[in-house]
Amino acid sequence: MASEKILVVDDDPAIRNLISRYLTQQNYEVESAKDGETALERFEQFNPDLVVLDVNLPDTTGFHLCQEMQSRTHVFVLLLTSLTGEEDKIKGFDKGADDYITKPFGLAELGARVRAILKRQRSVEDNEQRSLTYGDIVIDPARREVYVSDRLVSLSALEFDLLYCLARKPGRAWRRSELLQEVWDYDYEGEQRVVDVHIGQIRKKIEPDTDKPTLIKTIRGVGYMFDRRAPDR
């Protein structure tokens, strides 16, 4: 199996080189960039599986760059930031980030997050997954596309994985901790709020009324459930 390709984007040469060396030692194919302009050039040439992306760059923000990259491919994005507020995390997820790690961080933690993200990619590639149709929503795991009333809906890589996880077992009530383990495959101690954020983003894109969701329902005291009985629009 070919090594997964990772693009590291950070304007601090010490951090950029440290991450690049570490990931290379973990047998990934690694390229790096110091700013947004260079990052987009390398992104087009390198076609990475994952981008490790600093939020603060000299010519743009990681939030903007994340959105731009994901408009071109379904690349996974791991944001690096010194920002610690929940609003900043929500903004990152809103722009399509798959995960978020706060500086300073340990290389072991970074490695665990990278492995968890890329494991989702391998599971999609290694397992033949069936297309799902419920009313006017179609979820195609081979193309990683979602259609609502024949309209293509743009989902981030993680949003797609979360929706497919729920939809392939309609009627099952999932605890947030179960979804974290199933979709993220990572132990987010005390960070179950991340599930709520992503569910909110998916609802904005597929529900006719986000205040009264009919597809992804909240199960009070438990978590979430995909309801196959959702009416056609």
The pLDDT tens digits for 39-63 are: 999 999 999 999 999 999 999 999 9
Tell me which amino acid residue 118 is.
L
Residue 127 pLDDT: 47
May I ask the CATH class of domain 132-226?
mainly alpha
Residue 92 pLDDT: 76
Element (H, E) at 14: helix 13-25
Strand ranges for the chain from DSSP E: 5-9, 29-33, 50-54, 76-81, 99-102, 132-134, 137-140, 145-148, 151-153, 174-175, 216-219, 223-226
33's tokens: 């960039």
Strand order across the beta sheet in which 151-153 lies: 132-134, 137-140, 145-148, 151-153
Q: Residues 91-109: what's their mean pLDDT?
A: 84
Give the CATH architecture of domain 5-126.
3-Layer(aba) Sandwich (3.40)
Tell me which amino acid residue 191 is.
E
The per-type count for the chain, helices as H runs and strands as E runs, is 8, 12
Sign for the pseudo-dihedral over CA of 185, 189, 191, 196: positive
Residue 122 pLDDT: 54
pLDDT-wise least confident of 73-82, 124-133, 222-231 = 124-133
Q: Residues 130-146: what's their mean pLDDT?
A: 89
Is residue 9 pLDDT above 80, yes or no? yes
Q: Residues 73-85: what's their mean pLDDT?
A: 82
Residue 41 pLDDT: 96
Q: Which segment, 54-68, 71-85, 190-204, is predicted with the most confidence on average?
A: 54-68
Q: Which segment, 42-46, 96-100, 118-122, is predicted with the most confidence on average?
A: 42-46
pLDDT digits (tens, 9 = 90+) for 147-201: 999 999 988 878 888 999 999 999 999 999 888 888 877 665 556 778 888 899 8
Structural domain boundaries in the chain: 5-126, 132-226
What average pLDDT is seen over the chain? 86
